[in-house]
Amino acid sequence: MASIHVSHHLEGVRYEIRGPLARRADELERAGHTILKLNIGNPGAFGFRTPEAIRLAILENLAKSEGYCHQKGILPAREAIAADFRLRGLSDVVSDHVFVGNGASELISLVLRALVDDGDEVLVPSPDYPLWTAAVTLNGAKAVHYDCPEDTGWVPRVDEVRALITPKTRALVVISPNNPTGAVYPKATLQGLASLADEHDLVLLSDEIYDHILYEGAVHHPIGTLSKQALVGTFGGLSKVHRACGFRVGWVGFSGALERARDFLLGVDLLCALRLCSNVPGQWAVPAALGGANTIDALTSRGGRLYETRRAVIEGCGRSKYLYGTAPMGALYAFLGVRGIAGFDDRRFALDLLEKKQVLVAPGDGFNVPYRDHFRITLLPDADTMAEVFRRMEDLLDGV
């Protein structure tokens, strides 16, 4: 009998973060090895706990969570999200403009499905969080990557983005604080990108899932506050700031050109209805999370666990003969480069690091970049563990 072939819709779709290397790491674990998994930003795997008030909110509302809810999400969650958007300057967001999903990832795909037709183009940063490129591709459009160069601190040049706009361009994706680089875009850059969207009637899709994870005084500016006439979809969620990945609660709120976007928003609503609703118990955590105590600053401030691990990364690069990187100013990652080794290949390095040193990292080419000398690590291990990771990497590179 003939082999069962994969759908052609998956051609060009990649997600190396959970790809062949991660599968090989699982095999090694089953064989008895202990693997340090730095490939994914999963706080719970590194001992971080969801704040107690958030967990209690779910427990207290379990009796209300046994049936389907509205396809957009429960009203208390949407009202809390809308209020949070307004506090950050997005004054026109109300609960009816908010959609709750099974993580922001689900909503990224749904929003693009409602927006693009075959052959449309979407501007996506390079390096990017690869779900964005994958979701564009799966929905029949073309991801056009704009460069976020290392020599600018991974911040895009607005004029270079402008040069990529064509009559087929429908949307501009912005990720700040950035995954994988940790860059936090300056207000002037965000204003330039927002002005491009205004000028060319592009939908702005802003991934702000790491909005409160900031270091050394970095400031996050919601791009929706800077656009004058574009439709802006701002994505957030509980996963990172509130260390609640497993609850699978994300959201998107729309602001700006809402009157012109009525049909599009009805399309998003239809797609949300087709999947009935998102996880109901987790949604009850949203009001407690957004209206409760700030629990992230203690981790990102001097002496906090994320801050100290970030410092261990910076110091590890400073001591290394091979590794270098721009200090991340936000999010949970560092995008590191390797120099001084002829013919270095990020995938080969990642496989050798896994097999020989039991450390799993994400090769840089999985983030849709044209070069092969970078890789991403998460900042979630403690500082001592990260120092040990750098010792193992240095030892491996010494032998190359």
**In b/e form, how buried is each residue of 338-374, taking b as 16+ CB within 10 angstroms?**
beeeeebebbebbbebbeebbbbbbbbbbbbbeebbb
**Structure tokens that stand for 236 in this block:** 């957030």
Distance (Å, rounded) from C-alpha 395 to C-alpha 212? Answer: 35
Distance (Å, rounded) from C-alpha 180 to C-alpha 171? Answer: 21
Place of tokens 């949070």: 84
For residue 134, which amino acid is it?
Answer: A
Do 233 and 205 touch, CB atoms closer than 8 A?
yes
**Structure tokens that stand for 312 in this block:** 């261990």
For residue 380, which amino acid is it?
Answer: L
Helix (H, G, I), strand (E, B) or coil at 344: coil
Do 159 and 195 touch, CB atoms closer than 8 A?
no
Give pLDDT tens digits for 36-88: 999 999 999 999 999 999 999 999 999 999 999 999 999 999 999 999 999 99
Place of tokens 């090989």: 24
Report the Cα 352 to chain-centroid distance in Å. Answer: 26
Do 286 and 77 touch, CB atoms closer than 8 A?
yes
Residue partners of 201: CB distance under 8 A and separation at least 6: 230
8-49+298-398 has CATH 3.90.1150.10 classification: yes
| pLDDT score, position 13 | 82
User: Which helix (H) or strand (E) element contains residue 160?
Assistant: helix 158-162
**In b/e form, how buried is each residue of 187-212, taking b as 16+ CB within 10 angstroms?**
eebbbbbbbbbbebebbbbbbbbbbb
Distance (Å, rounded) from C-alpha 213 to C-alpha 240? Answer: 8
Distance (Å, rounded) from C-alpha 54 to C-alpha 43? Answer: 15
Residue partners of 237: CB distance under 8 A and separation at least 6: 103, 104, 209, 249, 250, 251
Q: Using CA of residue 220, residue 225, residue 230, residue 231, what is the dihedral sign?
A: positive
Distance (Å, rounded) from C-alpha 190 to C-alpha 211? Answer: 14
Distance (Å, rounded) from C-alpha 277 to C-alpha 107? Answer: 12
Distance (Å, rounded) from C-alpha 11 to C-alpha 142? Answer: 12
| pLDDT score, position 42 | 95
| pLDDT score, position 17 | 84
CATH 3.90.1150.10 intervals, the chain: 8-49+298-398
How many Cβ atoms from other residues are within 10 Å of residue 15's Cβ? 13
For residue 157, which amino acid is it?
Answer: R
Helix (H, G, I), strand (E, B) or coil at 264: helix
| pLDDT score, position 268 | 98
**In b/e form, how buried is each residue of 316-330, taking b as 16+ CB within 10 angstroms?**
bbeebebbebbebbb
Q: Using CA of residue 354, residue 360, residue 363, residue 364, what is the dihedral sign?
A: negative
Give pLDDT tens digits for 330-342: 999 999 999 999 9
CATH 3.40.640.10 intervals, the chain: 52-291
Q: Which CATH class is domain 52-291?
A: alpha beta
Size (the chain), residues: 400
Provide block-wise average pLDDT over 10 residues at a time, the chain (400 residues).
85 84 95 96 94 95 95 98 96 95 97 97 97 96 97 98 98 98 98 98 98 97 96 97 96 96 97 96 97 96 97 98 97 97 95 97 95 97 97 93
Give pLDDT tens digits for 112-125: 999 999 999 999 99
Q: Terminus-to-terminus CA distance in the chain, angstroms?
A: 46
